[in-house]
Amino acid sequence: MLQKLCLFISFALSINTYSQVWFDVGLKGGGGAGFVMNKELNSDARFTHSPGFNNFYGGKIGVNFGENFGIGFEVDYGNHVYGFTQAEVVGLDQNLAYKYEMSFKRLNISPLFRYTNEASYLELGPSFKMLSNQLISDEAYPNSQPSAEDVMSQRLTGLVFGFGGHMVGNETVSLMMGLRFSYALTRLNSTETVSTTFPFTNYSDISSPSSVNPLDAQLVIELNYSLGYFARASCGRRTAFLSF
């Protein structure tokens, strides 16, 4: 999938080879909900999705080709929580539901292809997350859970899709707002737990392993500053960088 995405981006940029190249930098941040994507959660009535809150902040450098196409190189830092409720836990009150949460901090790097049309944009690209401070919180059996760093991955590779539009500003400084969705293509389960029933270890009747893939839906605010552009002299032999 990532190879096809790279080919698509290369094709899109190739048709703009002779367009004006301009640059921008930006600050961005946002927050939203995190969901656990797992077949047991979707099929077993004992489990209910309980979205966790996630947020991030960071910056970007953009290289743009003409008015429509560009690539933004983003680096950001965030906090993520994913959870669900579990009912009918063996050995506990069968009338109560208990919350189960997985959380971590992460450093993310994303090269995103962006298409801009007038005041709106679409973005698509891969994300590469490096995880730290993994934690597990289980209301049912708080003292019986394994170390989160042992059962949760250290890295996640995913796909980002977003869209939004221009709020206020001018050609130099602008404020953008949009929605972004990020799905992890790799498992949150570590390599040591892919053959276990994690995170459903409280249920002895669940015997087949399944993957845990986080999905994030976030509101994103982005403040951009245009640095300038390369312009070719009329003689066609010299190129200069012009600031806005």
The confidence band for 135, taking pLDDT boundaries of 50, 70 and 90, is very high
Distance, in Å, from the CA atom of 23 to the CA atom of 63, rounded to the nearest integer, reads: 5
**How do 213-232 and 21-37 pair as beta strands?**
antiparallel
- Per residue in 89-111, pLDDT (tens digit) is 989 999 999 999 999 999 999 99
Q: What is the CATH number of domain 26-243?
A: 2.40.160.20
The length of the chain in residues reads 244
pLDDT at position 237: 53
Phi, psi of 59, deg, nearest 5: -145, 175
Residue 69 has pLDDT above 90, yes or no: yes
User: For position 62, what pLDDT does the model report?
Assistant: 93
Task: Name the CA radius of gyration of the chain, rounded.
Answer: 22
What is the Cα–Cα distance from 3 to 117, expressed in whole angstroms?
25
**Distance (Å) of CA 25 to CA 28, 62, 126, 145, 159:** 10, 6, 19, 43, 22
State residue 233's pLDDT score: 52
Give CA–CA dist 230/244, Å, rounded. Answer: 11
Segment 127-141 mean pLDDT:
94
Q: How far is CA 106 from CA 27, 31, 77, 132, 212, in A?
A: 18, 14, 6, 6, 17
Q: Where are the beta strands (DSSP E) in 118-212?
A: 120-138, 155-169, 173-184
Q: How far apart are CA 68 and CA 114, in angstroms?
A: 8
User: How much is the pLDDT for 13?
Assistant: 45
Nearest to 230 by CA among 219, 238, 239: 239
Contacts of 81 by beta carbon, 8 Å cutoff, 6+ apart: 34, 52, 53, 54, 101, 102, 103
Whether the pLDDT of residue 10 is over 80: the answer is no
Nearest to 177 by CA among 223, 216, 215: 223
Give the tokens for residue 125.
């690209």
pLDDT value at 170 more than 90 = no
Please state the domain extents for the chain.
26-243
Neighbours of 176 (CB within 10 A): 21
Q: Mind listing the pLDDT tens digit for each residue in 216-244?
A: 999 999 999 988 765 555 555 555 445 55
Express as a percent the part of the chain with pLDDT over 90. Answer: 62
C-alpha distance across the termini of the chain, in Å: 38
pLDDT of residue 151 exceeding 60: yes
Residue 146 pLDDT exceeds 80: no
Lowest mean pLDDT among 33-37, 40-44, 147-151, 218-222: 147-151
pLDDT score at 12: 47
Residue 158: name the closest of 57, 66, 80 by CA. 80
pLDDT the model gives residue 235: 53
Query: Is this prediction's pTM over 0.85?
Result: no
